[in-house]
Amino acid sequence: MEEKIIQTRHIYKGRVVKLDIHEVLLPDNKHSKRELVNHPGAVAIVALDNDNQVLMVRQYRLGARQTMLEVPAGTLDAGEDPAHCATRELQEETGFKPGKLQSLGGIYTAPGYTTEYIHLFFATDLIPAKLDTDDDEFLEVTRVPFAKVIDMIEKGELEDGKSISALLRVARQLGK
């Protein structure tokens, strides 16, 4: 079933998105074109405090043309270990470090046209630390009871893919 890349045309290289058009050889030896975003990868973290509340962030997302509720997340630096990135991003966005950090595997967000893979983590035993938001990020941190955030997913009030995957994984693990 594999598709072999025959030729690649670089279209654009930006800060987050790098777009390439690949000419591929299909299993039936025909050729086709695949538009592919080359993404450095990312992490997303379900951070649960001792009162069973989830640390969530609200931010405006141009892709959705709205302010969205999401779990803390961020892009991997070149060569960065995903667990290190998760610890760094959680602190930058919420001002807490994970005392305990468990890997939940990961997700390809849209493997038909982007290489992006998001490593999912479950952070507990949270430790207060210094808040350190990026210059062009406008975030609002909010705590939502775990049962409430799951209810929001079921009602369609939380529509961020990585957050849904991570939170429902944690819900199963906690038997909730």
Please report, as ranges, the residues that interact with a copy of itself according to CB under 8 A.
1-3, 5, 11-12, 14-17, 19, 21-22, 24, 26-28, 30, 32-37, 39, 58-65, 67-68, 105-118, 136, 138, 140, 150, 153-154, 156, 159-162, 164-165, 168-169, 171-172
**Cβ atoms < 10 Å from Cβ of 132:** 10
Choose between 39 and 97: whose C-beta lies nearer to a copy of itself.
39
Q: Smaller CB distance to a copy of itself: residue 105 or 128?
A: 105
In the complex with a copy of itself, which residue's Cβ is closer, 131 or 138?
138
CA 120 distance to own-chain centroid? 7
Smallest separation, CB 12 to a copy of itself (Å): 5
Is the distance from CB of 26 to CB of 41 less than 8 angstroms?
A: no
Q: Do 157 and 148 touch, CB atoms closer than 8 A?
A: no
| Least distance from a copy of itself to the Cβ atom of residue 168, Å | 4
Helices 146-154, 161-174: crossing angle, 10 deg rounding: 130
Nearest Cα neighbor of 97 from 81, 114, 84, 78 is 84
Rounded to a whole number of angstroms, the minimum distance from the CB of residue 121 to a copy of itself is 13
Q: How far is the CB of 47 from a copy of itself (least distance, A)?
A: 19
Q: How many residues does the chain have?
A: 176
